Amino acid sequence: MIELHGVYKTYRVGDEPLTVLHGVDLRIEEGEFVSIMGPSGSGKSTLMHIIGCLDTPSVGEYRLRGTLVSNLSARELAVLRNRMIGFVFQNFHLLPRITAVRNVELPLLYAGVGRAERRARALDLLARVGMADRAQHLPTALSGGQKQRVAIARALANDPALILADEPTGALDQRTGLEIIHLLRDLHHAGRTIVVITHDPTVAAAADRTIYIVDGQIRREEVRRR
Amino acid sequence: MNAWEMINMALISLRTNKLRSFLTMLGILIGVASIIAIVAIGNGGKAAVLGAIASGSAQNTIQIVPRELVAPGLPQPGQVLAIDESDLAIAASFSGVQQVNYTLYGTAVVSSGNRSDNASIEAGPANLNELTRLRIISGHMFSQADVIGHRDVAVLSQSLANKLFGSGNPIGGLVNVSGVPLQIVGVAVSQETSLFSLFMGSDALYMPATTCQDLFPNWSVSEMDVQAAPGANVQSLAQRIVTALNIHAGDATAFADSSGLASSVGALLSKVTTILTLVIGAIAGIALLVGGVGVMNIMLVSVTERTQEIGIRISLGATRTVILLQFLVESATITAIGGLAGVVIGCFIGLGIRITTGIPASVPWPVALISFLFSAAIGVICGLYPANKAARLNPIEALRYE
Ligand SMILES: Nc1ncnc2c1ncn2[C@@H]1O[C@H](COP(=O)(O)OP(=O)(O)O)[C@@H](O)[C@H]1O
Ligand SMILES: [Mg+2]
């Protein structure tokens, strides 16, 4: 599903070029559950942004389901993010001024789903993550774990094949974090491809495979037998 | 996403920041409200002035006066001050003239029983009520037969009738003018919008010109009322008669067409009001421009504040076009609502002025519609730069923005 070959990413900070990824080769199969670990600043988020089509490699190629992403137009990338990819962030990234259900509706809105169907599907998704009774709450009225559940419901809105989670438990206590991981594992069992960035070894251990990144390079891989 | 969903989204976002949205709207609202109010007042003022002038002259009637009466000043030696029989005959000789009448003005003591009042006397033909815009409220106007027969009849203005007869019915009663009893055949009110009623007191007595000449033989005829035949070119007829009269008097400026004068004064006044409306309108337009700059400023602040929101929306699959439209629709919605409120408030100001001053202030609907569309357009124009800025944000940097 995901193929990276010799991917470099260089940012420009002022006049200084800053190379964050140093030749990453990575293959993730359809239906895999992969975790990514590594020290802070090692380029994990950058890698995830490239995988999620929010950013493009400076050098190297990235294929998503065989399509060379650098050949796609801005509009095609937007459609890809909307239909095929669901993001989950450490800081939840819910829009603060609209209710939980309206947050979940957003990807459906951009997909052109009509008003009534949008609402019905959003409520259904909230029910699936156990948040049916909080649909009309503003994010500020929700706990961290609840916000992350809403964010996961939103990531699932257009039934994407790929879920990308950047430290989804980083802002949660251990028990709530574990609940979120169970949720992700359920999604994996339902056939989705899942990539999780984490600092927590127990979270990483939930995945089939763990990739270790240091200084923008993949140093080590660990495959678990189940 | 259809247009309605765009507007709905904009409304939601505006509602979450009510005070700011309202303050942003205020600039546009004040600009539009003042434009609407100015147009309403200008229109009303023009209508009032033109109405007053039009009401001063009856249709198809040429009112000719000695020049001294139109342009007050010291008469030159030998200047014509009154109209005589030969002048009337000259006017009557023109083809296209149906009838030539004349009017006399003066003041006299009018009494009934032990009550008396100093009133202005207006004497003329049977259509005097049209010439001076009277509305008969009871009885009737004196007739042509009364004029021809030198009959002792009169019509009183309502205020004079009240002074002499109190609440009693004056019709059929008698009043004394210069020792002659006149029978009252009607009571009239002068139409409020008449310019002439502003200059004349409202206590007035109207009688046949012939009767007046019998009572006051030394009063001079001060106005000639030439009734043009239906279909005649009134303007050219007036010009030809005035020229003929001037030749007869041996003075190129002896007579003037006072109805023509009234209409040229009207044209001037209407020009002045138009210029004033334009000038004040331009000032209001500047206010609107300043309001537009305010909208742009707030939209720029809003884009900066919502950088992370934009990043999130892009990560969820919003295209640049959708982001651009979102901010454009938001700023257009602000200014359209501001414009709509401005139109409504401007109309209310016009209504208030109509009620308090009696000026027939009115807002033509195209002006209201254009003001509204214009304010929506300001929103689009002033929102363009901030919206474009939002649409061009790098999603990664927007997501990382705190
Ligand atoms: N848009 C950017 N512009 C400049 N530098 C960036 C940008 N994004 C990330 N970086 C830098 O790249 C390095 C790696 O960042 P990141 O991928 O977020 O690391 P991680 O997620 O592993 O902590 C950091 O030093 C960070 O400051
Ligand atoms: Mg990171």
Residue B307 Cα to ligand 1 midpoint, Å, equals 18
d(CA B353, CA B45): 11
What does the DSSP assignment read for B369-395? HHHHHHHHHHHHHHHHHHHHHHHT--H
As a whole number of Å, the end-to-end CA separation of chain A is 21
Distance from the alpha carbon of residue A169 to the mean position of ligand 2, in angstroms = 12
ipTM: 0.95
A198 lines ligand 1 (CB under 6 A): no
pLDDT of amino acid B81: 65
> Please, is A126 exposed, middle or buried when counting C-beta atoms within 10 Å of its C-beta (0-12, 13-18, 19+)?
buried
pLDDT band for A95, please (50, 70, 90 cuts).
Answer: very high
Question: What's the whole-number average pLDDT of chain B?
Answer: 84
A203-226 tens-digit pLDDT: 899 999 999 999 999 999 999 866
Cβ B375 vs Cβ B336: under 8 Å: yes
Token couple for B111: 């009494």
- Which of A8, A20, A42 is the best mutation target for the ligand 1 pocket, counting ligand atoms within 8 Å of the beta carbon and taking the most? A20
pLDDT at res. B62: 83
- DSSP symbols for A94-122: --TTS-HHHHHHHHHHHTT--HHHHHHHH
- Give, for B290, the enclosing helix (H) or strand (E): helix B258-305
At B66-115, the pLDDT tens digits run: 876 555 555 555 555 678 888 888 888 888 888 888 888 888 999 998 88
* Weakest mean pLDDT among B60-64, B261-265, B286-290: B261-265
A168 within some domain? yes
Q: How far is the CA of B209 from the centre of ligand 2 (A)?
A: 105
Other Cβ atoms closer than 10 A to A29: 12
Total of domains in chain A: 1
Is the Cβ atom of B373 under 6 angstroms away from ligand 1? no
pLDDT-derived band at B196 (thresholds 50, 70, 90) equals very low
Q: What is the pLDDT of residue B363?
A: 85
> What pLDDT score was predicted for residue B402?
75
pLDDT at B113: 86
Which chain A residues have a beta carbon less than 8 Å from that of B13?
97
What is the pLDDT at residue B226?
A: 87
Residues of chain B with Cβ-Cβ distance to A73 below 8 Å are: none
Q: At what angle do helices B365-391 and B258-305 cross, to 10 degrees?
A: 20
Is residue B161 predicted with pLDDT exceeding 60? yes
CB A112: neighbour CB atoms within 10 A? 11
β-pairing, B223-228 vs B61-66, is: antiparallel
Q: Which stretch of A34-43, A135-144, B12-21 has the lowest confidence by average pLDDT?
A: B12-21
Is B180:B225 a contact under the CB 8 Å cutoff? no
Segment B232-265, tens digit of pLDDT: 787 788 889 989 988 888 887 788 887 665 666 6
A147 is in which domain, residue-wise? Answer: 29-57+73-223
pLDDT band at B289 (very low <50, low <70, confident <90, very high): confident
Model confidence at A76: pLDDT above 70? yes
Q: Does B313 touch chain A (CB under 8 A)?
A: yes
Residue B319: is its pLDDT beyond 90? yes
| Residue A7 belongs to some domain of the structure | no
Alpha-carbon radius of gyration of chain B? 33
For the segment A139-163, the average pLDDT, to the nearest whole number, is 94
Kindly state if the Cβ of A44 falls inside 6 Å of ligand 1: yes
Mean pLDDT, residues B354-371 taken together: 85
Q: How far is CA B17 from the centre of its chain?
A: 43
CA–CA dist B235, B179 (Å, integer): 42
The answer, for B12 touching chain A at a CB cutoff of 8 Å, is yes
A110 chain-B contacts, CB cut-off 8 A: 1, 313, 316-319, 322
- Chain B residues with CB under 8 Å of A98 CB are 12, 16
Residue A20 in contact with ligand 1 by CB distance below 6 A: yes
Q: Which of A95, A117, A150, A163 to mutate to test the interface with B (most CBs of B within 10 A)?
A: A95
Q: For the residues B330-335, what does the mean pLDDT come to?
A: 92
Say if A110 is an interface residue toward chain B (CB within 8 Å).
yes
Compute the mean pLDDT over every residue in chain A, rounded to the nearest whole number. Answer: 93
Task: Give me the numbers of helices (H) and strands (E) for chain B, helices first please.
Answer: 15, 10
pLDDT at B195: 47
Closest approach of chain B CAs to the CA of A173, in angstroms? 23
d(CA A205, CA B66): 114
Least confident stretch, B25-29, B205-209, B254-258: B254-258
Q: What is the pTM (predicted TM-score) of this model?
A: 0.70
Coil, strand or helix at B339? helix
- CA-based nearest residue to B112, from B49, B190, B173: B173
Judge whether A22 lies within some domain.
Answer: no
In order of A46, A93, A156, B255, B355, the CA distances from A160 in angstroms are 21, 18, 6, 95, 65
Token representation of residue A75: 């509009």
**pLDDT the model gives residue B193:** 45
The CATH number given to whatever domain includes residue A182 is: 3.40.50.300
Measured between alpha carbons, how far is residue B191 from residues A150, A189, B102 in Å?
A: 75, 91, 21
Mean pLDDT throughout B15-31?
88
Q: Look up residue A6 and give its DSSP letter.
A: E
Residue B12: its chain A contacts at CB < 8 A? 97-98, 102
- Residue B74: the pLDDT is 54
Least confident of A152-161, B147-156, B187-196: B187-196
Beta strands in B209-273 (DSSP E): 223-228, 255-257
Range A14-32 average pLDDT? 93
**Residues facing residue B108 across a β-bridge:** B119
pLDDT of residue B167: 84
B396 contact A CB<8A: yes
Q: Tell whether ligand 1 has an atom less than 6 A from the beta carbon of residue A12.
A: no
- Across the interface, of A49, A52, A109, the residue whose CB is closest to B5 is A109
pLDDT for the residue numbered A215:
94
Please report, as a single letter, which amino acid is at residue A64. L
* Cβ–Cβ gap A106/B1 under 8 Å: no
Out of B9, B317, B395, the one facing A82 most closely (by C-beta) is B317
**Chain A: nearest CA to B16, how far in angstroms?**
7
pLDDT given for residue A226 in this prediction: 64
Which residues of chain B are within 8 Å of residue A18 when distances are taken between CB atoms?
A: none
Atom of ligand 1 nearest to the CA of B396: 1
Give how far the C-alpha of residue A21 lies from the chain's centroid of Cα atoms, to the nearest Å.
19
What percent of chain B has a predicted confidence (pLDDT) above 90?
33
Token pair 């009240």 in the structure block, residue: B162
Give the separation between CA B158 and CA B136, rounded to whole angstroms: 9
Check if A36 has its Cβ closer than 6 Å to any atom of ligand 1: no
Q: Say whether pLDDT at A34 is over 70.
A: yes
Is A186 close to ligand 1, i.e. is its CB under 6 Å away?
A: no
Q: With respect to residue A6, please indicate whether it lies within any of the assigned structural domains.
A: no
